């Protein structure tokens, strides 16, 4: 967007190799606070020695653009942390969020206090071969979209602390398996409307659309 770049300092003294896999990053994230022009880069992974499986020690390093330094903290986590979908990362409420690859929960990292948290998904979100789920930011809220063979449903977390999800909309999909263009309908108050009557403005976590 700006054609500007910044070279970050090394996050470790020696690079990750198969003979030195300690702290290999399995989770990567970028969080930007536009109001104060600050960003964080997160690299997290399990500690393991050569020839051994991870021992449950989870190492997280966080780059702070204000100090131009990395900080590190260690916690003990189960092996389900390796099941995160690396392409599903959203920054909202000062935290980074990853969606598990099988849609079992959302993993978040609070960058203000370096605390991990597991967030439950809406009860209706289930993992199956015909369903896809994605994380987004919707009007400053953590949002989940699930696309099935017949519906696209959109949830937003209105109360972040108590983890209260609200179904924002559902879109009816026709002729999904055919090669013809599909016509989408938004269903609100039991009344179907063409999708252009109910357009949602989604915003990325990094750049403002103002």
pLDDT of residue 208: 39
Q: What is the pLDDT of residue 53?
A: 62
pLDDT at 99: 86
Total-model pTM: 0.75
Query: Tokens at residue 17, please?
Result: 């190799």
Q: What local confidence, expressed as pLDDT, does residue 170 receive?
A: 85
Phi-psi region of 66 (alpha: psi -120 to 50; beta: other; left: phi over 0): alpha
Both tokens of residue 112? 């203000």
Rounded distance, CA 152 to CA 132, Å? Answer: 9
Below-50 pLDDT ranges, the chain: 19-21, 175-176, 179-183, 185, 187, 189-210
């Amino acid at each position: 967007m700006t054609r500007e770049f910044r070279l970050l300092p090394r996050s470790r003294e020696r690079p990750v190799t198969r003979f030195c896999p300690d702290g290999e990053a399995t989770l990567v994230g970028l969080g930007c606070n536009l109001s104060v022009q600050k960003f964080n880069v997160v690299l997290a992974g399990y500690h393991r020695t050569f020839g051994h499986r991870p021992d449950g020690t989870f190492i997280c390093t966080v780059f702070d653009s204000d100090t131009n330094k990395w900080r590190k903290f260690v916690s003990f986590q189960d092996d389900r942390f390796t099941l995160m979908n690396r392409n599903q990362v959203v920054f909202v409420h000062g935290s980074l969020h990853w969606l598990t690859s099988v849609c079992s929960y959302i993993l978040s990292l609070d960058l203000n206090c370096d605390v991990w948290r597991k967030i439950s998904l809406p009860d209706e979100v289930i993992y199956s071969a015909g369903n896809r789920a994605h994380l987004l930011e919707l009007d400053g809220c953590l949002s989940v979209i699930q696309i099935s063979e017949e519906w696209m449903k959109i949830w937003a977390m209105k109360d972040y602390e108590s983890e209260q999800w609200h179904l924002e909309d559902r879109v009816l999909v026709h002729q999904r398996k055919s090669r013809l263009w599909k016509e989408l309908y938004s269903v609100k108050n039991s009344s179907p409307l063409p999708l252009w009557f109910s357009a949602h403005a989604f915003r990325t976590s990094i750049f403002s659309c103002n």
